[in-house]
Every structure is written in C-alpha cells, then in structure tokens.
Amino acid sequence: MKIIRPITAKDYQALHDIAVESGIGFTSLPVNETLLKKKIDRAEASFAKNAMSPGSESYLFVMEDTLTGEVVGTTGIEAAVGLDDAFYHYHLGKVVHASRELNIHNTAEILTFCNDYTGVTEICTLFLREQARGGINGRFLSKVRFLFMMEHRERFSETVIAEMRGVSDDDGRSPFWEWLEEHFFYMDFPTADYLTGIGNKVFIAELMPKYPIYVNLLSKEAQKVIGQVHTKTRPALQLLQEEGFSCRGYVDIFDGGPTVEANLSHIRTAQNSRKLPIVIDDQTAAHGHTCYIINTSIEDFRAVATEMAVSEEQQVAVLSRQAAAALNLSEGDAIRFAPVKFRD
C-alpha cells in the first residue's frame, strides 16, 4: 500500500535522490543539501503550527511504499507565495496600434513583468520516481493536496495556482531564456534556475527588463514556446485542467511555461469531497469504490487510495482494518474522501 504523509528529517536522502532525478527546470527542488534540509525543517514547522490564516507555511508530503519503506514521490503546497520573497511572472497581454487616418489597425502581444499572484496558494514540487509510475499514484500525489486544503481551508487562499515546467531540452537549453540571456542576463538557464531554486532572486529584480516586451521582437524559437509545457509535464497539466485549472495569461519568467489557476471551492476533487465518520468492516469496504482518503489531522496527516463504501442511511464511511490502520484512525474518527472516478 502507498501512503502519503508529512516529510520528516529522516527523509532527507530520499528527497535528495528525487531532486537529482527531477533534473534541470524543476526549480522547487535544488540539488543543495543546505536548502533541502531547510525545506524539510520549514515543512515540519508548518505542520506543527497552529495557523489560522495563510502565511509563509510550506507543506511538503512524501509518498511511502509501506511494503518496502521506500519514499517514491513528493508533493507540496505553499500556503501564500511572495510574502517573504518577491514572486515574479510575465503576463501575456495585448496592445493596439491604430490609425484611422491611414486605416491601419495592428494588435501586438506584450509580456509585462508583474507580482500579481502575491499571497495566493501554490501547489508545487510534485515528482513521482520512475519505479512508482503507473496506476493512480501520480493522480493520488496531485489530488491529495486538494483534500488537505479543503479540510483545512483557513490555512490557504481561495485562489490556487500551479507553475508548469516550460520547454527546455535535455541539456537545459530553454529557447525563451536564451533570448533573455542574450539581451539582459548573460547567464545560462541552468544557472538562473538554480539561483532561483536556492532563493537568490535579487538578480531578477536587478536585471529583468522593467518595461513590457513586445513578443514579436523575441526570436521565433522563443515565441513558439510561450505558454507551452515540457513534454514530461503534459500529463500533469492535463490532470489540472480536468480539475478546473486554466491559464489566465501568466507565464514563467525563465522558460515561458504557463501558470494555471483555479478557485479552491471550484476544484473538482475538493468540490466533490465529503467528510464522514468511519466504521471498520472489511467485507463491506471491499465491495465499495476506490477513493482518495485522508484523515483530518495536520501534524499526523495520512492519506491512502483504496476501496471504501458509504452508508447513506447511517451517514458513515466504511473502511477496511488495513486502511484505518494506515490512516491511524479508530472507529468513529472522521475522514475526508473523494472518488477516484467521477460519475459525469
């Protein structure tokens, strides 16, 4: 069975291995011991904190294979971005140049440097190791965050975003960044990406062009990748689109990848989730449906994806003994759950 739980200090080596495997462009997991340990410390403090409003908390979870004890994936939530460090984006908009006298009307796309998403909640740091890919593991890692946020809404913003990895090749070459590098930065994409990942963002404010950039002035290669995602990111984007996320014209300042957003109350998994007390009955649970299930704890949070049944008459959820044990629950405790397959 796979469980999802809060990360702890003992998971450092697994998180380091995941950071190495994730590769260039996965900014939220820099291959840096000090930064990774600080990320774990921050997560542990966030889970222990009695937060009543979204702040600088960072919730980082890991997926563990209970048979082997191996950590096979990670996923995270930033409660409110941009409060401690500036949070930058480009917004893709339009300007019109028109002359009635000459009967000329031109519309041009522009990229405007902004901090519009300051204070919103960000889902991030989702990575599943290759040996665990398949089945519903990837979806489980993604959707568990929506259940956690719905259960503890006071800790999160109503607006939720996700930055999607933009186009780059195996060597870390980003067509979008290469144009910026040539004209403004004079450093390669892996270096800029790494500096951002370790929290060194001062250079962005110092060197990034302050005025809107006309898209048609960029190289043809750079123009083509604006709002496009990395090949490996397409399944993650599709999953979020199915949940109700969409792009409102915001793209990453380094690789041009899209940022998608949704209101928490409109996210499909969150909206369709329910909260009920449990009873434990192996036979009844086995004849139910597969659901994503979380306990209602924060510091002792646990999540599983398994079969369960619902008694509408008694208004209880029926779990197996194995599922209840994995969730650290006793009969009468509450769960929040959502179906793996929605009935459209």
User: What is the CATH number for 309?
Assistant: 2.40.40.20
* Residue 78 sits in the same domain as residue 169: yes
Q: What string of pLDDT tens digits covers the 344 residues of the chain?
A: 999 999 999 999 999 999 988 876 566 788 889 889 999 999 999 999 999 999 999 999 999 999 999 999 999 999 999 998 888 899 999 999 888 888 888 999 999 999 999 999 999 999 999 888 888 999 999 999 999 999 999 999 999 999 998 998 877 788 998 888 788 776 776 777 666 665 665 567 676 777 899 999 999 999 999 999 998 889 889 999 999 999 999 999 888 999 999 999 999 999 999 999 999 999 999 999 999 999 999 999 999 999 999 999 999 999 999 999 999 999 999 999 999 987 65
Looking at residue 8, which CATH number applies to its domain? 3.40.630.30
* Residue 299 sits in the same domain as residue 231: no
* DSSP for 235-294, written as a single string: HHHHHHHHHT-EEEEEE-TTT--EEEEEEGGGSHHHHT-EEEEEEE-HHHHHTSEEEEEE
**CA-closest candidate to residue 197, choices 9, 45, 27, 14:** 27
Q: Which domain holds residue 122?
A: 2-88+116-268
Domain boundary among 207, 238, 268: 268
Residues in the chain: 344
* Residue 198 sits in the same domain as residue 252: yes
* Residue 218 sits in the same domain as residue 281: no
Q: Can you tell me which residue has the tokens 């890692």?
A: 141
* Residue 128 sits in the same domain as residue 249: yes
Q: Is 106 part of a structural domain of the chain?
A: no
Active site residue 105: no
Pick the catalytic residue from 152, 230, 266, 287. Answer: 230
* Residue 159 sits in the same domain as residue 247: yes
* Residue 262 sits in the same domain as residue 300: no
Amino acid at 7: I
